[in-house]
Structure 1
Amino acid sequence: MKELRHSVPELERELGRPGDALMAEAADWPGDVVVLGAGGKIGSGIAAMARRALDAAGRTETGVLAVSRWTDARARAALEGHGVRTAVADLADPAALDSLPDAAVVIHLVGAKFGTSGAPEQAWMTNTVLPAFVARRFRGARIVALSTGNVYGMTAPVTGGSREDETPRPTGDYAITCRGREQVFTHAARADGTPVALIRLNYAVEPRYGVLADLARTLLAGEPVDLGAGAVNVVWQRYANEVVLRSALHATAPEPFLLNLTGPETAGIRGLATRLAERLGSVAEFTGQEPATSLLADAALCHTLFGYPDRTLGQLIDLQARWITEGGELWDKPTKFERRDGRF
């Protein structure tokens, strides 16, 4: 495992690094790949990884198109430097979707979360209506759609978390509309025979953002850590990127392939903060009480199919502490993982 220092280019190369299994499977992808919502937190890594996997498989003629509104010109230029084609499009506009080229594999990363409590109509439009446009435009393609573990209800940590066969119990507009997105793509699988994979992710981390970055920032500010979440699952972002892409060959119809994507550990917030504080040379203070239940997912199926993440929880904690103490870049994008009311 490569040790990462506070170099953004080095980190981004690692986040887009395909493993051996993905490089082998890319040889069987049925055609061009389009990544919708590629300008978000994880889209660049997924698009770059797809390009590198195809190149390694000798599929240099197979295209990867990254689609976004592209407010970050640097990220767009970096992808183009990797050989990824880019396109600017407002995906809520059916005409913009229709202008995109055909693709055999579609990675759907578009979603609205933060700010949805104040503008719930935006969540409904982005998370439920837009997927219907995508399903119509790319009817018959293999669609991998990112969802969230927030569609589940709270469970006791001793249960090991919610499994894929459990009935969702979403709370709040964000989780409800994400469940709506799942149902829209399920309709496409049943009505049109479109192969679909639905990926319920929580919480992916890399040193610029995520649960560990949020905790480290709180500790270094000398503020108390809120124990309201109780416990969480976290997973290394590079592994999450790879699982999303490898799920393309698992997409099915008329019933979608459903997968929880997270790490194997149930990690208590108190323990995470304490271990981070030790590595940061600070003292963890706390507020609130640990609840009896938390938002947790059982990812045993994911690990059976795709192996365990290539960075353990302890390694992720060490990476986070080293990154922040060496002056590495942090994104001002808090996860709000401590919220239990579904209001983001």
Structure 2
Amino acid sequence: MTEILTPAIFPEAFRDVDHLEDFMSIPTQGVIDDLNALDGDIIILGVGGKIGVTMARMAKKAAPDKRVIGVSRFSEAGVQERLNAWGIETIACDLLDRDAVNALPKVKNVIYMAGLKFDSSGREDFLWAMNTLAPQITAEAFKDSRIVSFSTIHVYPWSNPLHGGVTESSPPLARPGEYANSVVGRERTFQYFSRLHNTPGRIMRFVYAIDPRYGVMQEVAAWVKAGQPVPVATSHADIMWQGDANAQFLRMLNHCETPASPINVGGPETVSIRYLAHRFGEAFGVEPVFEEQEQDTCLMVNCDKANGMFGNPVVPMDAMIKWVADWVKNDNPIHGKPSKFNVRSGEF
């Protein structure tokens, strides 16, 4: 029988990476119901990143009779083997290679997670290729499927955190920095081909995901533990547990529209960076140090629409804080890929 995610099975802490990833891939009843009601199998493009591995595993747990196919370059050693061990088919593929993408199994349900964000200085052409050309190749190859595509809240203007967050009615904005602009290009590419081929889709404007190995909480906790000043100019952040993000991505396959439409994905509450630092300071027995002054704006979105479909995420803020504090306190492994939530220039 498939284990179902509820607060009753929350651990006090995570023993190791295997324990963490097993927990993050436990489906909710909603994921189980939606995936089993969905016609066709599932392919996840860009599965080898921080989020895709546990998402694919959750899909397989929720719908063990469906094919779940993970596609990536698989540049990180061991990822392909781990996915295979969980019953997930894997295919190594460069999504900029049109012939290779055209040769992929044409299943009914596509989750597109590929893209480039950080460390693109000096290779901006590759940034634009990954964020616009690869979506074009995918949209043409999978024109007869449903496509749920990864996007970001970085397409929105910054706003006052007291005003409830930016909604989907706000058009994507050309902001400073090539990353945000290229992601607007990714969205518009998927929308164009969705309209051209009547391909159902959704564009997931996604907040900062976290697990104890990466993300806003891990960064703030690490700064506090090391006695480093915590930057608070960006005073608040939208945060979501990675397992809850997995669930909403998968369930959105049942809520696609033609042409593909955007939807904000995240929790119902925002968190103060200063508050986080004090919570971690209490856990570590240290007094946090701060730098900068809180500014009037931050990158804040309103996720009521998605949460109205699916209900609020299962994992609340307090549980996330406790799990991250324990992980960082015990010097457990991290991804080493900062979110850069505090960067206000748009240059990552």
TM-score, normalized by the shorter chain, greater than 0.5: yes
Give the 3 Å change call, closer, same or farther, for CA 274–170 of structure 1 in structure 2. farther
TM-score between the two structures when normalised by the length of structure 2: 0.95
Runs of 4+ in 1 over 6 A off after TM superposition: none
> Alignment partner of 2:125: what SS?
helix
Q: Which residue of 2 aligns with 1:35?
A: 44
Which residue matches 2:185?
180
Is the 2:264–2:305 contact (alpha carbons within 8 Å) kept by the matching residues of 1?
yes
What is residue 315 of structure 2 aligned with on the other side? 311
Aligned length: 338
1:108-135 CA deviation, whole Å, 9 max, x = no partner?
0001000124422121110011100000
Alpha-carbon deviation of 1:103?
1.1
Q: Structure 2 vs 1, CA of residues 277 and 118 (structure 1 numbering), >3 Å: closer, same or farther?
A: farther
Q: Does 1:8 align with 2:13?
A: no
**Equivalent of residue 50 in structure 1, options 43, 50, 59:** 59
For 1:180, what is the secondary structure of its paired residue? helix
TM-score (norm 1): 0.96
Contact preservation (8 Å) 1:6, 1:329: no
Q: What corresponds to 2:3 in structure 1?
A: none
* Alignment match, 1:240: 245
Equivalent residues in 2 for 1:253-272, closer than 5 Å: 253-254=258-259, 256-272=260-276
Specify the code of the residue in structure 1 equivalent to 2:332: G
Gapped regions of structure 1 (runs ≥ 5): none
Q: Is the 8 A contact 2:139 2:194 kept in 1?
A: no
Counterpart position of 2:168: 164
Aligned equivalent of 1:212 = 217
Q: CA RMSD in A?
A: 1.2
Distance (whole Å) between structure 2 residues aligned to residue 183 and residue 207 of structure 1: 33
SS of match in other structure, 1:332: coil
Post-superposition CA distance 1:210-268 (Å, at most 9, x none): 000111111122110111212111011100000000000111113x2321111221212
C-alpha distance in 2 between matches for 1:70 and 1:284: 39
Q: Secondary structure of 1:298's match?
A: coil
Q: Which runs of 5+ in 2 are unaligned?
A: 1-6
In 2, Cα distance between equivalents of 1:220 and 1:170? 37
Q: Which of 284, 288, 296 matches 1:284?
A: 288
SS class of match (1:123): helix
Cα distance in 2, alignment partners of residues 250 and 140 from structure 1: 16
Q: By how many angstroms is 1:190 displaced?
A: 0.9
How many Å separate the matches in 1 of 2:314 and 2:283? 21
Quote how far apart the aligned CAs of 1:72 are. 2.3
Paired residue secondary structure (1:73): coil
- Residues 216 and 321, structure 1, Cα contact 8 Å, conserved in 2: yes
Q: Quote the Cα distance in structure 2 between the aligned partners of 1:197 and 1:297.
A: 17
CA distance in 2, matches of 1:16, 1:51: 9
| Cα distance in 2 for residues equivalent to 1:73 and 1:324 | 24
Which residue of structure 2 aligns with residue 25 of structure 1? 34
Select 2:135's aligned residue among 127, 131, 138. 131
Does residue 111 of the first structure (1) align with residue 115 of the second (2)? yes
Match of 1:44, as an amino acid? V
Identity within the alignment, %: 35
Secondary structure at the aligned position of 1:233 is classed as strand
AA partner of residue 335 (structure 2): W
| Amino acid across the alignment from 2:310 | F
